[in-house]
Structure 1
């Protein structure tokens, strides 16, 4: 992708959805890769159609991240599996996404985002079909791993595609697009609950097949080719070292989520030591390689290094918190599972109401102000949720607190998604992949540590309330880091 120019602030509004219907649909038929490049930094004619196509992919991937949570008991009974192996259907999906995000971002920058996006759609669809046909838990876990690789590749490649399509308005488009991911994660448990209640756990995978086929057809037809970085090669050594670092670290942490596993367990210690060793070797290799898998400048410094730290802590507090809200409602207040799942809907409503406005205000507000305001609102909502209800039913109290956290997320997520992208607009996919990797890592760490604490507590509901206070404190600690984020106003 050509490096975009930096026009002055106050450019035209990107809302031009009517162009979808009025322009001819022949955008994918141009043979030359550079033929789809508009002059200068102009938004492209079919941008809203392409936006809709890649949004379907992102929504599918994010829903599948949490949709299995409601089907664990059904999977366990039907396949005769132990609970810890059933839980790996969730863990392996998160691990696969963590590996796929930076890998797909790098591949998309080098070999064309459309190719990687379509390939990811094919892999995701085939793996979903295989998951629905699995006859034992071990095969299901393996199929989920391949599904995660396809789903994880959607975010970085689709982010790059959106940035290419919207030209000078890419900042608003990226903020709007990446806000879809948490919405899908919120809808997952509700959709999964409905499907498992009226059909079976196999249909939660099978519904991806027709949607995936439609996505492949539309993507191949309408998504234009992008300019590739020619002459570059994939750093397989660096990719392998990064994968081993993440796998060892997350495997060790996931062990702590198993009942009876202590921090002194030799398997946990060995896994974490290996993660540190592989991580050290990866950083050493990134410094020395001519074309490293992840350029070291994307991992450190006032811009990228600070945002990586923020994304790790933000993922731990927000993603970990979201995954545990239904469990908290059930264990502390005895709220029924389906009703507890709708608490995440309250958070989604709050986020949707604010996110769109926050996207279009970014050029005036910059990144720091909405990040700080949103983070503090999320922390406040978490703290209220940890308190006993006052003058309201437990469900109404929790729903109101969840709504406040949603408003805070809607305010902070667009800014945090855009922060640092303008520092290297030619590597948007790689940066988006790293952002997802750090957030997912934080979420897995938070869930694993929290479930370990709950398994050893006498009163799980009260113990979980205490963890919400810890999550809120972690968010408050992020605020000083946001002051180090390179602020930016106007278009890129």
Structure 2
């Protein structure tokens, strides 16, 4: 199909208006992703649900992103990035309304899942729009565009805490509505359609089995706390676990038989990539689990206000950004392994600090220290872990990058599901959360052990 975009470049002011529009969309997505973590306690109280099910508002959002990321770029190539971008923003805004109006946990979970699907589409199509708009300067524009997520990590927890201080958790979602309307209007007026190309069919069967595996696994973990309900509790766990095992077996068989599977089998285990994938699962469980659970933990154990609890994630994000710049400057000189191991060791220390009671300080200062150490570790480990996987198969760097995101999200889903289920079943949820952070420290220790086996790489690759 022929392209609908004219090749001539436009004035700089128009290009930067387009850039600002898509960056604002990514900020909306990134802020929503982190601000909801501050509202778990408020949603649990208002909806009268257990923490295990309220935790799905975070995990099911990640599931939506995992499922759509493998083919979101292909949707833009086939139907045009502008059209898919406008559809994604409209859907994200509509689902925000649904989440805000939810009268029960099921409605909220469904809305968050659909929000995750919409948010997962935004990143690849927004990147394509920026790339097409800036032409030869696309590298700098995309590098600048990528700062939306660190900024969102800083603003999201603060925005969530601020909204909860003066309003309810529902306004966290409603605030997206005017922003989404403005983005749709700006997008229709400014963004040009990108060229369309013929692409292969998406692996819908593989996506189906992956969906069944993730959701049934989450149900099995969530229902573990229902054993006191009689025979129905263990039966529901056994049924969900059986579905998960069957779905996992069919998914693996499908990956080895499909000509273009959702996950290429050689990228699962070949060339030490199996080691990297397992490390990313553990990394995601510890780090993303920490990010989702810390505000709730600060509120239930120490009675911190939502804005103070959310501010802990802002402290982490600030230190992460600072150390990331240092790590990038040291990568070629030291290689990725020393930075990776140092960073993950710091994150292990952070998790232990968070679990321990405050020493010679108040809880705000103590938890801020733990969050700051986590940020330092993430700043060192994030750039180095990205290079550690991609240098193994540089010709498929994009695919490896996508798998890194997917496996980290899978680790986060498992960790958050387990911790929230355990906390719901515990007589003392605050103490159970403290034990959970120690368990996450052990998980991160396992990631350090795996990282030590990854070959180092200095200089260019």
**Does the Cα contact within 8 Å between 1:381 and 1:405 map onto a contact in 2?**
yes
**Does the Cα contact within 8 Å between 1:367 and 1:488 map onto a contact in 2?**
yes
State whether structure 2 residue 224 is matched by structure 1 residue 256: yes
Q: Which residue of 2 aligns with 1:237?
A: 205
State whether structure 2 residue 316 is matched by structure 1 residue 347: yes
**1:346 shift after superposition:** 2.0
> Once the two structures are superposed, what CA deviation does each residue of 1:52-91 show, in whole Å capped at 9, x if it has no partner?
554433332232234334445655676x654466554444
Greater share of helix: 2
Map 1:348-367 to 2 at 5 A: 348-367=317-336
Count of residue pairs the alignment pairs up: 453
> Greater CA deviation, 48-57 or 234-243?
48-57
Helix, strand or coil for the counterpart of 2:381? Answer: helix
Aligned mates of 1:419, 1:229 — CA distance in 2: 32
Map 1:264-275 to 2 at 5 A: 265-275=234-244
**1:440 shift after superposition:** 1.9
**Of the candidates 341, 362, 382, which is equivalent to residue 372 of structure 1?**
341
Q: Which residue of 1 aligns with 2:93?
A: 125
In the alignment, structure 2 segments of 5+ residues that lack a partner are none
> Greater CA deviation, 222-231 or 433-442?
222-231
Aligned mates of 2:349, 2:171 — CA distance in 1: 38
Q: Which residue of 1 aligns with 2:441?
A: 472
**Does the Cα contact within 8 Å between 2:160 and 2:310 map onto a contact in 1?**
no
Aligned mates of 2:15, 2:332 — CA distance in 1: 20
Helix, strand or coil for the counterpart of 1:434? Answer: helix
**Does the Cα contact within 8 Å between 1:69 and 1:90 map onto a contact in 2?**
yes
Aligned mates of 1:160, 1:261 — CA distance in 2: 51
> Once the two structures are superposed, what CA deviation does each residue of 1:168-216 show, in whole Å capped at 9, x if it has no partner?
996x987876675466356434322322332343322222123234444
Aligned mates of 2:137, 2:329 — CA distance in 1: 13
Aligned mates of 2:226, 2:6 — CA distance in 1: 53
**Does the Cα contact within 8 Å between 2:58 and 2:292 map onto a contact in 1?**
no
Q: Which residue of 2 aligns with 1:411?
A: 380
Aligned mates of 1:474, 1:297 — CA distance in 2: 26
Tell me the TM-score normalised to structure 2 length: 0.81
Helix, strand or coil for the counterpart of 2:360? Answer: coil
**1:373 shift after superposition:** 1.7
**Does the Cα contact within 8 Å between 1:176 and 1:355 map onto a contact in 2?**
no
**Does the Cα contact within 8 Å between 1:386 and 1:469 map onto a contact in 2?**
yes
**Does the Cα contact within 8 Å between 1:259 and 1:452 map onto a contact in 2?**
no
Q: 1:202 to 1:54 in 2, by over 3 A?
A: same
State whether structure 2 residue 165 is matched by structure 1 residue 206: no
Q: Which residue of 1 aligns with 2:257?
A: 288
> Greater CA deviation, 282-291 or 476-485?
476-485
Map 1:61-460 to 2 at 5 A: 61-71=29-39, 82-83=49-50, 86-105=54-73, 107=75, 116-134=84-102, 137-158=105-126, 180-181=148-149, 184-185=152-153, 187-216=155-184, 230-256=198-224, 260=228, 265-302=234-271, 304-421=273-390, 423=393, 428=398, 430-460=399-429
**Does the Cα contact within 8 Å between 2:38 and 2:295 map onto a contact in 1?**
no
> Greater CA deviation, 154-163 or 292-301?
154-163
**Does the Cα contact within 8 Å between 1:63 and 1:188 map onto a contact in 2?**
yes
**Does the Cα contact within 8 Å between 2:223 and 2:233 map onto a contact in 1?**
no
Q: Which residue of 2 aligns with 1:15?
A: none
**Does the Cα contact within 8 Å between 1:259 and 1:455 map onto a contact in 2?**
no
**1:318 shift after superposition:** 0.8
> Once the two structures are superposed, what CA deviation does each residue of 1:206-230 show, in whole Å capped at 9, x if it has no partner?
2212323444455567667667663
Aligned mates of 2:45, 2:446 — CA distance in 1: 43
Aligned mates of 2:435, 2:44 — CA distance in 1: 30
Tell me the TM-score normalised to structure 1 length: 0.77
> Greater CA deviation, 98-107 or 269-278?
98-107
**1:325 shift after superposition:** 2.1
**Does the Cα contact within 8 Å between 2:319 and 2:372 map onto a contact in 1?**
yes
**Does the Cα contact within 8 Å between 2:56 and 2:417 map onto a contact in 1?**
no
> Greater CA deviation, 207-216 or 366-375?
207-216
> Once the two structures are superposed, what CA deviation does each residue of 1:128-172 show, in whole Å capped at 9, x if it has no partner?
2343445555444333322121012234555677788798996x9
Task: Give the CA RMSD over aligned residues.
Answer: 4.0
Q: 1:339 to 1:76 in 2, by over 3 A?
A: closer
**Does the Cα contact within 8 Å between 2:165 and 2:307 map onto a contact in 1?**
no
